[in-house]
Amino acid sequence: MKSSSLGRSAAGLASSGARSWSSKDLLSLGQADNSSGKSKIQIATEKLHETYFNLRAAESKCLNSSSPDASPEPFAADAFLAALRDVNSTFEGNRQQDAHELLVCILDNIRETCRALSTKAARLQLQENGDSNGIGRQPSLDGDSGKPLAHLRKSWKKRKEGAAERKHSPTDERLAAQDTDPRARPGWDFVADDFEGTMVVRTMCLECETVTEKAQAVCELCVPVGDEDAADDEPFRAACLSSEYLRDQNKYWCERCLRYNEARRSVAYSRLPRLLVLQLKRFSGGMEKITRHAPTPLLMPCFCEPCAKRPPDHQPQHRYILWGVIMHLGQTLTGGHYVAYARDSPAEPACRRHQAPPDHAAPPTTSGFMRTLFNRPRPPPAGCAAKECCVPRPRAEACWLACDDELVKPISNEEFEDLLSAEPKMRSAATPYLLFYVKSEVG
């Protein structure tokens, strides 16, 4: 899917670290207006799933091909783009768009879909528990007036026997697994678990020294690009852990002193997410801001409060590993192109396929629930060959994959570091814009 450039003004993205979906009522944007009764958000999420499903099927076809040079054909995600434009009019037409806005919109759609799944699952579980306890639909006096009382006793006994059988069904085994692993539950909100951190803003009155705190959920951190070339090895940590004094015309209203006083305000993070997204704020009217170099470390120490409070002679508990970069190629804000760089996965990933339950043990509740929610038949299996995940792929010695539309090529770690350097050997107008880091335990 082709992406375009930073054609939006900075007004909509000026809130540094603010929770992006708090300013949009996605449910009102995605109200159902079609004959199927599905919401726009639901349709967009389905089309996104179909996009990945089709891409995976094309890759599987190439892996199973006898030709060593087989490669999948370019895929145009027209159906997903059309559904996305129905959700958010920002993406209508062929205007230049912002990769950050697209990322936020997709995560918002997935989040709302997870909430719908969770709500639907809780409702169906409540109905199932009611039926198993005999609190289901009671017989009507009018409808059963011509039936003997013995028939009602038999129906009641049959319901109790059915409930006893369900106690030993595979569904209960799956529910027990869901209790131990929340990721197995329908509607598991992985956006909150993987992308969401907690920012804490502390304000201390310089008169009475009273400290107030305000916690806020964040899904990405906006890092300004300095006016001068940064030489610090930890530019993002210094930019995110900011501190300022409130004085002159910007004094702080102290609830204890009941007047405006000078104060000191600091920003810290009590918790950082597993997947940390950093957006470099390259929104300026001048070209110098867009093309200015910003250091992009491959390894970054964790700057959450538990790690920051450790003694200097102790290593932090976590660190962040650079896993992906979206670079903007172009000379202006109103045009250009995006190229993505992703760290290559290991040749032999850990396969847990043997841990999956057999097909006969798969509960009908989950699949039936999904069909009920999305009102669609179950798609046929796409043929998942074992070698897709368990057989090492022949490849060159590369650590990164450069993804330029349908062209994907491996590059070495040295080539990637050269792209991120202040003076690359291959001169390019590409500048890092979105950085994706993965949290890793130290030691």
Query: pLDDT tens digits, residue range 74-133?
Result: 888 889 999 999 998 888 877 777 888 889 999 999 888 888 888 888 888 788 777 666
Residues in the chain: 443
Is 0.85 surpassed by the pTM of this model?
no
From 61-75, 204-218, 220-234, the region with the lowest mean pLDDT: 220-234
Q: How confident is the model at residue 273 (pLDDT cuts 50, 70, 90)?
A: very high
Task: Give the residue-averaged pLDDT of 408-413.
Answer: 89
Identity of the highest mean pLDDT range in 123-132, 258-267, 289-298, 386-395: 258-267
| pLDDT reported for residue 90 | 82
> Does residue 330 or residue 257 have the better pLDDT?
257
Quote the Cα angle for 218-51-49, to 5°.
Answer: 55
The span from the first CA to the last CA of the chain, in angstroms, equals 39
| pLDDT reported for residue 183 | 63
| pLDDT reported for residue 190 | 83
From 42-46, 54-58, 314-318, the region with the lowest mean pLDDT: 314-318
Neighbours of 83 (CB within 10 A): 21
Q: How confident is the model at residue 5 (pLDDT cuts 50, 70, 90)?
A: very low
> Does residue 122 or residue 53 have the better pLDDT?
53
Residue 309 in this model has a pLDDT that exceeds 70: yes
> Does residue 238 or residue 180 have the better pLDDT?
238
Closest by Cα among 240, 343, 218 to 301? 240
Tell me the CA distances in angstroms from 146 to 138, 152, 271, one per residue in order. Answer: 16, 11, 65
Extended beta strands in 43-165, E state:
none
From 135-149, 243-257, 281-295, the region with the lowest mean pLDDT: 135-149
- Only one residue has tokens 């995940």, namely 389
Closest by Cα among 372, 379, 377, 365 to 116? 372
Residue 323 in this model has a pLDDT that exceeds 90: yes
Residue 139 in this model has a pLDDT that exceeds 80: no
> Does residue 47 or residue 375 have the better pLDDT?
47
Residue 181 in this model has a pLDDT that exceeds 70: no
| pLDDT reported for residue 386 | 40
Extended beta strands in 197-242, E state:
197-205, 211-218, 221-224
Residue 400 in contact with residue 343, Cβ under 8 Å? yes
Neighbours of 221 (CB within 10 A): 20
Give the CA dihedral 254, 255, 257, 258, nearest 10 degrees: 100
What percent of the chain has pLDDT above 70? 61
Which runs of consecutive H residues, i.e. helices, occur in 227-267? 235-240
Q: How confident is the model at residue 368 (pLDDT cuts 50, 70, 90)?
A: very low
From 20-29, 76-85, 201-210, 374-383, the region with the lowest mean pLDDT: 20-29
Q: How confident is the model at residue 397 (pLDDT cuts 50, 70, 90)?
A: low
Query: Residue 271, exposed/middle/buried by CB under 10 A (0-12, 13-18, 19+)?
Result: middle
| pLDDT reported for residue 50 | 92
What percent of the chain has pLDDT above 90? 22
Number of H helices, E strands in the chain: 13, 14
> Does residue 311 or residue 8 have the better pLDDT?
311
| pLDDT reported for residue 315 | 80
Closest by Cα among 369, 287, 278, 366 to 330? 287
Residue 377 in this model has a pLDDT that exceeds 50: no
- Only one residue has tokens 């120490």, namely 301
| pLDDT reported for residue 128 | 77
Tell me the CA distances in angstroms from 407 to 41, 100, 340, one per residue in order. Answer: 30, 22, 11
Cα R_g (the chain), whole angstroms: 27
Residue 224 in contact with residue 281, Cβ under 8 Å? yes
Task: Give the residue-averaged pLDDT of 62-81.
Answer: 80
pLDDT in tens, 276-297: 999 988 766 655 556 778 888 8
- Only one residue has tokens 């050997």, namely 425
Residue 24 in this model has a pLDDT that exceeds 50: no
Kindly tell me the sign of the dihedral angle through the C-alpha atoms of 81, 385, 383, 189: negative
Give CA–CA dist 221/218, Å, rounded. Answer: 7
Closest by Cα among 108, 439, 432, 112 to 269? 439
Residue 257 in this model has a pLDDT that exceeds 90: yes
| Whole-number average pLDDT of the chain | 72
| pLDDT reported for residue 207 | 94
| pLDDT reported for residue 358 | 43
| pLDDT reported for residue 293 | 82
Query: Residue 431, exposed/middle/buried by CB under 10 A (0-12, 13-18, 19+)?
Result: buried
Please tell me the number of Cα atoms within 13 Å of 121 on its side-chain side: 17
